[in-house]
Structure 1
Amino acid sequence: MLMLIFRTFFYYVIVVIIFRLMGKREVGELSLLDIVVYIMIAEIAVLTIEDLDIFFGYGLIPMIVLLLIQRLTAWISLKSPLFRTWFEGKPSIIIAQGKIDEYQMKKNRFNFDDLLQQLRENGTESIKDVSYAILEPSGKLSIIERVNQSKIQGKINGLVLPLVVDGRVQDKALTELGESEAWLLAELKKRGYDKINEVSFCSIDVNDEWYVDKKNEK
């Protein structure tokens, strides 16, 4: 009995430490890998606790391996947008400028009952009140209700368009806007940024509002 209590306490502490090392993320924001790792760690802990014939520290090895896998993929995901899109998925626009995209709904196995339920949970009275509804990789539906349309709204296929990510210009975003890199640099200079590579992240939204974050700025 004492050994069972000791094992339970030991693995409780270990699991808490490992989850803390994985980083803080809300349950709804967990990636597929996070969920798989969490389930496997929990199973390993339970197995090691229940089987008193197994050395109590035996489960540490696979837990540490899983932690290293999770940290490695998180680092690669941070550095590679392509890997992040492939591994974690990307948001899907279910409603764009008030129009429902049935193809995206079918592709994501998202039906009208799901849509109406999440609209109700958001407090949205009618689909006609929705400007954009975006299905996030986590499965959560982000809903933006209609606002006064800006000049740039018709050019952006979404709510926010990233123009610079990790100091790299997003050429597809400029093409979507019909603008050039010279235009982007001129806009950044207006806002006090002389070089694109000194910008960590830059975006423009449907209301023509800019957000610019400088690298390593404190």
Structure 2
Amino acid sequence: MPEWIEVALRTLLAVAVLFVMTKLLGKRQVSQLSMFEYITGITIGSLTAYVSLDLQSTWYLGLVSMIVWVGVSLGMEFLQLKSKTARNILDSNATVLIKDGKILEDNLKKERLTTDELMEQLRTKDVFRVADVEFALIEPSGNVNVLLTKENQPLTPKHLGIKVAPEQEPQTVIMDGEIMDEPLATIGLSRQWLNTELEKLGVAIENVFLGQVDSYGQLYVDLFDDQIKVPQPQKKAALLATLKKCEADLEMFGLSTKEQKTKQMYKQCSVALEKVINEVKPLLIR
């Protein structure tokens, strides 16, 4: 057999084995490498090259070595899942770098992190003043997580005492000009409903690059032609405006009549409608 064919066959075999072993090691091996996993990845890559190119040696010994390395790595991961002590030894613990706006220099030296590197990590979190940091630590993965002081944290509806409705996952119902039937069925809608919504927007299905339906049944579309502006759905805003108009009309009717019983009826209806508006407003302002 010519050497180039043997190298090609060995390479294909090594790639197939490497793919299977990578799947066995799981996503964590790719997305969040510990020190041991980093070493394992480098070693397995080197062994794969050995299996592909070293024609003078017995090729299957490289595969045996790869299998042993993967087996050891899987054993380490299983041990980490079962034992907190093992996790502490293999992955170490998080280290506090900033506390109450004060940099802990000893911990910084322990992690071999310079001041410039710390400031760079803070800037990636949109933090430019150390004094704004309540608490910051470096995770075993090397990421720096930051907790801002109370007055510097972003304002949320909860801080204002406002209740907002939960947001469910939007469903992609159009992709590359093609209707996706399964997401439509998931939210209980049909092609007929989708075509009706597209007609309201004045858009043809073949011109839609991406279409999504949110948890309130509103359709958002992105067209192939970026120069065309599509109006945003206004159903919720229109409904809220209609409810407020009805409330204002009831109050006006109550003020315009001289009959006390009728005036009281309009007032009660206005109060009841105001209560309804307050309850559904979180659903309509998103």
User: TM-score per shorter chain, which class?
Assistant: 0.5 to 0.7
- Whether 1:92 and 2:82 are equivalent positions in the alignment is no
Quick one: distance in 2 between partners of 1:114 and 1:43? Answer: 31
Equivalent runs, 1:10-25 vs 2, <5 Å:
10-25=13-28
Q: Which has the larger displacement, 60-69 or 49-58?
A: 49-58
Aligned residue number for residue 44 of structure 2: 41
- Tell me, yes or no, if the aligned pair for 1:28 and 1:138 is still in contact at 8 Å: no
- Whether 1:135 and 2:138 are equivalent positions in the alignment is yes
C-alpha distance 56-41 of structure 1, shift in aligned 2 (>3 A)? same
C-alpha distance 92-28 of structure 1, shift in aligned 2 (>3 A)? farther
Aligned residue number for residue 9 of structure 1: 12
- Tell me, yes or no, if the aligned pair for 1:28 and 1:140 is still in contact at 8 Å: no
Aligned residue number for residue 274 of structure 2: none
Deviation at 1:75, TM superposition (A): 1.2
- Percent identical: 28
Unaligned runs of 5+ in 1: 150-218
Quick one: distance in 2 between partners of 1:128 and 1:27? Answer: 35
Higher Rg of the two aligned structures: 2
Give 1:77's match in structure 2, choosing from 75, 80, 93.
80
Q: TM-score, normalised by structure 2?
A: 0.49
Unaligned runs of 5+ in 2: 153-286
- Tell me, yes or no, if the aligned pair for 1:119 and 1:125 is still in contact at 8 Å: yes
Deviation at 1:58, TM superposition (A): 2.5
C-alpha distance 116-100 of structure 1, shift in aligned 2 (>3 A)? same
- Whether 1:107 and 2:128 are equivalent positions in the alignment is no
Deviation at 1:114, TM superposition (A): 0.8
Q: Secondary structure at the match of 2:55?
A: coil
Quick one: distance in 2 between partners of 1:104 and 1:129? Answer: 19
C-alpha distance 40-92 of structure 1, shift in aligned 2 (>3 A)? same
- Number of aligned pairs? 149
Give 2:59's match in structure 1, choosing from 47, 53, 56.
56
- Could you say what the CA RMSD is over the residues aligned between the two structures, in angstroms? 1.8
Quick one: distance in 2 between partners of 1:114 and 1:70? Answer: 31
AA matched with 2:149: R
Deviation at 1:146, TM superposition (A): 2.1
Highest RCO, 1 vs 2 (Cα 8 Å, sep ≥ 6): 1
Deviation at 1:78, TM superposition (A): 1.3
C-alpha distance 39-48 of structure 1, shift in aligned 2 (>3 A)? same
Quick one: distance in 2 between partners of 1:136 and 1:27? Answer: 17
Q: Which has the larger displacement, 93-102 or 140-149?
A: 140-149
Quick one: distance in 2 between partners of 1:103 and 1:27? Answer: 31
- Tell me, yes or no, if the aligned pair for 1:89 and 1:137 is still in contact at 8 Å: yes
Deviation at 1:148, TM superposition (A): 5.4
Q: From the two aligned structures, give the one with the greater helix fraction.
A: 2
Quick one: distance in 2 between partners of 1:22 and 1:16? Answer: 10
Q: From the two aligned structures, give the one with the greater strand fraction.
A: 1
Deviation at 1:63, TM superposition (A): 0.9
Q: Secondary structure at the match of 2:147?
A: strand
C-alpha distance 89-79 of structure 1, shift in aligned 2 (>3 A)? same
Q: Secondary structure at the match of 1:93?
A: strand
Q: Secondary structure at the match of 1:58?
A: helix
